[in-house]
Amino acid sequence: MSGFTPIDLAAAVQTRISGSVADLKHTTAGAVEFAELVSKKLLPARLPAAFVVAGALVGDGVRRVGAVSIEVAQAVTVILVQGSAKDATGEAARAACWPLEWAVIDCLTGWAPAEGYAELLFEEDALRGLGGEGRTGAVAATLTFTTEWKLHKRTTGGA
């Protein structure tokens, strides 16, 4: 295999956001924490909050005699949660969420998470209402970014 070693992209993005976006310094977590809140139907204890979830790895490879080369596209999603107890419609939360969305887009777009990785590209921002009892007035925005890296490996050529 080449000297390249993939990293935990979600952890790197989490560290980048908490170190660069002041409003999310103490409220950036990962997929495990997000799954726990979802399973309990709870909002984070402190808002705004960000959760970083690793996305798909998609490879596009070529076989050669004695080697394979794979270009890997990798996605990561940042879920921003914002709420306002004073406004059940979610409009106040949405208005407060937009500056955070832009701060995260600005923080991550063009940043290379490690040597051998392409700079992150911003792909999509989708607003999700959270609604429901105890969650009225809360919104979540999902921001998706992608990067690429290459994997080269010598093969044994058979059995």
Per-residue pLDDT tens over the stretch 56-79: 999 999 988 889 999 999 999 999
Residue range 92-120: mean pLDDT, rounded: 94
Let me know: does 53 contact 34? Beta carbons within 8 Å. Answer: yes
The answer to whether the bond into 6 is cis (omega within 30° of 0) is: no
Domain parsing of the chain, residue ranges = 9-154
Q: What is the pLDDT of residue 1?
A: 46
More confident residue, 19 or 1: 19
Copy the structure tokens of residue 21.
């976006």
More confident residue, 81 or 158: 81
Q: β-pairing, 121-129 with 138-154? A: antiparallel
Euclidean distance between CA atoms 142 and 151, whole angstroms: 29
Q: Number of helices and strands (H, E) in the chain?
A: 3, 5
Please determine, looking at this structure, whether the domain spanning 9-154 carries the CATH number 3.40.50.2020: no
Q: For residue range 34-47, list pLDDT tens digits in order.
A: 889 888 888 888 88
Q: For residue range 144-153, list pLDDT tens digits in order.
A: 999 999 988 8
Let me know: does 137 contact 81? Beta carbons within 8 Å. Answer: no
Q: What is the pLDDT of residue 157?
A: 66
Inform me whether the pLDDT recorded for 16 exceeds 90: yes
Q: What is the pLDDT of residue 79?
A: 95
Euclidean distance between CA atoms 135 and 38, whole angstroms: 12
